[in-house]
Amino acid sequence: MAALPGNAASSDGSVAEVLGLRSSFEGANELRRRRGGSGEGEGADRTARVMRALKSFDIYRKVPVDCRVKTQSGGVIACLCWLTIAALFLGELRSFLRVDIEDHIVVDRLMEQKLHIQLNITFPSLRCVEISVDTVDVLEENQVDINGRNIDEGAPRHHGDTAKAYDHVPSPGECLSCFAATNARRKCCNTCQSLKEAYAEEGLSYFDVVNIAPQCQEAIGCGVYGEVAVNKVAGNIHVALGRSTVKNGKHVHEFNVQDLTDGFNTSHTIHTLRFGARVPGVSSPLEGTSRTVHHGAGMFHYYINLVPTQYFPSRGGQPLYTNQYAVSMSYKNVLELNDRLTGLPGVFLVYDLSPFMVNKVERRVPLVHFLTSATAIIGGVFTLSSLLDTLVWSLSRVSLGSVVLGGREMQEAIKYS
């Protein structure tokens, strides 16, 4: 029985030990929670300090809506502000979209290139059998009878190297007379061109027969067109009377003067005349030119001064080569009253080249420059309008204060009086 109190004491001690261990565990957990809570609190404090620091850099002050005051003067200034911004922005946009061309003059070092001449001339009163198209330069290089076509609206037009006549289309089995060219190898001359060749083989003049030959009646009107490459030196390209040839190194035209009693009408229209590629900003002054001869046999001289030109596109690519030109013209009736010729009737395009070259370079406004200018326009106009609004508001407040102060002084004076 004496052992019972001892067992009770030991059990009480065990309970005390358990309670002590539990309290120690709870204290440790509480310490851990405090440590964890302090870490989270420090992170939140750090974030709050960063946000407060960022707020201190805010240069755009916010005013509560209830504190804002709108005035009529402010509305007028705002409208003017937006109109000014729109006008200046559109002007800057137009400059950005525009392509400017800068000219630079340099010495022409491309003398070994060929000069490409593109030509399209209509002679409404001539036949192709009556003329020859030739080029001659100062190096005495000749290209004889390079191009010529009779006008025929029903026939396709194309470039060529010899004068062919699309004048009469013979029917199957048709055989038209060669007239005086009876000893020619050909028995039939079904086209005006073949009739001309037959007369040339016999050494006869064909200018009388073309007026009566039925195969030549539809061949009135001649179109000369195409492209020819010549040396890049001074020279001329001409459309003139007769059959051209080179004898003893000389360029000559063979014709019978007696066949010109009715005149050689060199009335013409220049549709195209270019010396190189077609490029922007380079015009051809002679294109669209028309000249009419009312009597006699006319000799036209077009004196053309060529300026070599290179065009450099802004988007890269190969430069385009062409020639700008200025021109002057002279005319002379070379058929005198006694049917004597004082010159060769025709159209002569006499050209000479400048030793200098013009480089045309396209320039566009860079995108960065456009964005910078647009930003400066918007920000600058908005800032100036804000300053103007502040000035007007301040002046109105000062004026209003003076009026109020003057009214109070007057009331006090009336009271004491």
Residues 81-97: tens digit of each pLDDT:
999 999 999 999 998 98
Q: How far apart are CA 238 and CA 161, in angstroms?
A: 15
Give Cβ neighbours of residue 50 (< 8 Å, ≥ 6 apart): none
End position of a domain, from candidates 344, 363, 382: 363
Q: How many independent structural domains does the chain possess?
A: 2
Q: Looking at the structure, tell me whether residues 317 and 402 fall in a common domain.
A: no
Q: Looking at the structure, tell me whether residues 156 and 281 fall in a common domain.
A: yes
| 60 occurs within a structural domain | no
Measured in whole angstroms, the distance separating CA 223 from the mean position of its chain's CA atoms is 31
Closest CA to 297 of 252, 339, 326, 245: 339
Q: Average model confidence (pLDDT) for the chain?
A: 77
Residue 330, beta-bridge partner list: 301
Q: Looking at the structure, tell me whether residues 256 and 323 fall in a common domain.
A: yes
**Mean of pLDDT values over 28-37:** 51
Burial class (CB in 10 A: 0-12, 13-18, 19+), 305: middle
Q: Which two tokens stand for residue 386?
A: 């804000």
pTM reported for the whole predicted model: 0.61
pLDDT for 17 equals 53
Q: Looking at the structure, tell me whether residues 262 and 330 fall in a common domain.
A: yes
Domain that holds residue 284: 104-167+219-363
pLDDT for 24 equals 55
Q: Looking at the structure, tell me whether residues 148 and 224 fall in a common domain.
A: yes
- The confidence band for 149, taking pLDDT boundaries of 50, 70 and 90, is very low
Q: Looking at the structure, tell me whether residues 358 and 374 fall in a common domain.
A: no
pLDDT for 106 equals 93
| Local structure of residue 63 (DSSP, 8 states) | -
| 16 occurs within a structural domain | no
Q: Looking at the structure, tell me whether residues 314 and 233 fall in a common domain.
A: yes
- The confidence band for 291, taking pLDDT boundaries of 50, 70 and 90, is very high
| 286 occurs within a structural domain | yes
CA geometry: angle at 22 spanning 18 and 25, to 5°? 140
Q: Looking at the structure, tell me whether residues 262 and 320 fall in a common domain.
A: yes
Q: Looking at the structure, tell me whether residues 244 and 376 fall in a common domain.
A: no
Q: How far apart are CA 328 and CA 308, in angstroms?
A: 18
| 42 occurs within a structural domain | no
Q: Looking at the structure, tell me whether residues 340 and 279 fall in a common domain.
A: yes
End position of a domain, from candidates 363, 380, 397: 363
Contact present, 150 and 167 (Cβ < 8 Å): yes
Q: Looking at the structure, tell me whether residues 234 and 370 fall in a common domain.
A: no
| 25 occurs within a structural domain | no
| 146 occurs within a structural domain | yes
Q: Looking at the structure, tell me whether residues 387 and 337 fall in a common domain.
A: no
